[in-house]
Amino acid sequence: MNVADTDRMELILFHSGYRRTQEKEDADLILVNTCSIREKAEQKTFSLFGGLKPLKTTNPDLILGLTGCMGQQDGENMLKRMPFLDFVLGPDQVEGIGRAVDLARESEKSFVWTGFDSEKKYSIPEIPGDLPKKPGPSAFVNIIKGCDKFCTFCIVPFTRGREKSREPDELYQEIRHLILHGAKEIILLGQNVNSYGKRGLTNPMPFHELLYKVAEIPGLQRLRFTTSHPNDFTKETIRAYRDLDVLVNHLHLPIQSGNNEILKSMRRDHTVEGYLELIDELKAEVPDVSLTTDIIVGFPGETDAQFKDTLNVMERVGYSSSFMFSYSPRPGTPANEMQDSVPEEVKRQRLQETIQLQNRLTEEQGKDFVGKTVEMLIEGNSSRPDYSFKGRNPQYWRVNAKGDGSRYHAGDMVEVHIDQASGHGLSGVIQ
Ligand code: SF4
C-alpha cells in the first residue's frame, strides 16, 4: 500500500513540476512514507530522519515531510520529536500532497494533516498527461482502503480508517491505462481485498465478480491480489482460480496463529479448521497453487503447546514462504493492554524455530521445480552475476534466468528451464 501511495504522490508532484532526484543531497523536497505496523519500522524511520536532519541545517529551504501511518498515529508527537519537519501527513491525505508542499513553501510553521477523508466514495482520479516513470511490467492498483476487522494486535484500522471501495469503472480505466503503458501483470491491492464492494460503491459488487471483469481487459497477462482475510474469502473466489487463466496460482492468506484460543485473543474471527477447509478446497481446484502467509509468534499468553500448533499448521498447509514476526505491542491497539507475557528470549527462540521450519518447507518445494520449465514474467535485469533477467513465476517464486540480452526485454513472458533452487528463488535458462 505504501509503494502505491508513494507512486501516487510522485505522480501528483510530477504534475506540479517536481522530478525525482537520484541523490537526497540534490533534493528540494524529501518525503519519507512511513509504516507503523511494527516497532522496528518506526525505529528505522527515526534513524533515517536523524541522517536527513543535517541536510536541513545546510539548506534551510529544503522541505522535509513525513507521510503515512506513523504520521496518522502520532502526528503532533512526530513534530515534537523532530521539530525540523515541515509537515506530517496521514495516509488519507495523499491526494493533498501538492497543497501541503505549497503551504510548506509559504509558511514558516510546521503543520499536521491527519484527518480522514470524509467523502463516501473512494476515488483516485486519473491525472491526464505524462507519467513520471513508465509503469513496470507488474503494477499495483488500489481497489479498497481501510479495514473493518480490528484484529487486536493491528494498528491499521486506526491509521487507515474504515473500508471503502473504488468504483469498478474507475479501476478498469486505470488498469487499461497501465496496460497501455506497458504493464502486463496487475496486483489488486487492499488491506482486505476480499471485502471489496461491500461499502462505497453505487452498486455493491462482490470481489470475485471484479476478478472476472478485470480478467476480460485486453492485454492483461497476469492477475494477482493481496491481502486476503480468511473470513471474507469466498467459494466463488476459489472458483475464479479455476476459471480464470490470468489469475495466477498463488494465494497469500494470513493465518497469524495455528491455535484457536490465540486466534480468538487476536480477534481474527476465524478458526484453524475453517482456514484449513478453505485451503483444502483451493488445493482441490488448483493443485499447483502456492500458499504464503503471515505469522506472529509470542502473542500475549501464547504457551509452548499453542506455539507448536502454529508449526503444525505450517507443516500441514506447506507454505512456500511466510512473513514471520515475533509479537511487538503497538500503542493504541487492544493487545497493547494485554500483558506482554512471553519473554523476549522465548519469542526469539520461537521465531527461530518458525523460520527454520519455513526454510525447510521452501527448500522441499524449490527442489520440485528443478528440471522443470516455469513461465516467468521478466521484470528487469538480474543483479546476480551470470544471469541476465529477473522476474517471477506464477506461484510468486523469484526467478533469475540466463538468456540473450538483446532478444528479451522487461515485460516479456518467457519459459525458463530451472536448474537450481535456493531459498525462495529459482534459477535457470530461458528456453
Ligand atoms: S485484517 Fe489485516 S489490516 Fe485488518 S485489522 Fe486484521 S491484520 Fe490489520
CATH number at residue 260: 3.80.30.20
> How many domains does the chain contain in total?
3
Confidence label for 134 from pLDDT (cuts 50, 70 and 90): confident
Does the beta carbon of 323 lie inside 6 Å of ligand 1? no
Q: Are residues 44 and 96 in the same domain?
A: yes
Q: In CATH, what number is assigned to the domain containing residue 105?
A: 3.40.50.12160
Q: Is 266 left (phi over 0), alpha (psi -120 to 50) or beta?
A: alpha
User: Which pLDDT band, with edges at 50, 70 and 90, does 209 fall under?
Assistant: very high
Atom number, ligand 1, closest to the C-alpha of residue 147: 4
* Residue 124 included in any domain: no
Q: Are residues 201 and 68 in the same domain?
A: no
Residue 118 counted as domain residue: no
| pLDDT of amino acid 130 | 84
Residues 248 and 396 reside in one and the same domain: no
User: Which of 122-136, 296-310, 318-332 comes out lowest in average pLDDT?
Assistant: 122-136
Write a three-state SS string for 58-95: HCCCCEEEEEEHHHHHHHHHHHHHCCCCCEEECHHHHH
Which residue among 306, 336, 360 closes a domain?
360
Domain annotation covers residue 202: yes
Same-domain check for residues 149 and 290: yes
Same domain, 336 and 273: yes
Average pLDDT in the 159-185 region?
Answer: 94
pTM over 0.95: no
- Asked if 334 and 404 sit in the same domain, the reply is no
Domain carrying residue 403:
370-430
The answer to whether residues 32 and 95 belong to one domain is yes
Q: What is the CATH number of the domain that holds 410?
A: 2.40.50.140
Check pLDDT > 90 for residue 253: yes
pLDDT digits (tens, 9 = 90+) for 212-247: 999 999 999 999 999 999 999 999 999 999 999 999
Q: Please indicate whether residue 156, judged by its CB atom, sits closer than 6 Å to ligand 1.
A: yes
Residue 411 Cα to ligand 1 midpoint, Å, equals 33
29 and 92 co-located in one domain: yes
What is the distance in A from the centroid of ligand 1 to the CA of 222? 26
Is 98 in the same domain as 151?
A: no
Q: Is residue 133 part of a domain?
A: no
- Decide whether any atom of ligand 1 lies within 6 Å of the 193 Cβ: no
In a domain, 43, yes or no: yes
Q: Are 379 and 222 in contact (CB under 8 A)?
A: no
pLDDT digit string, tens, across residues 350-360: 999 999 999 99
5 to 86, 142, 332, 369: CA distances (angstroms): 19, 9, 23, 35
**Residue whose grid cell is 483451493:** 282
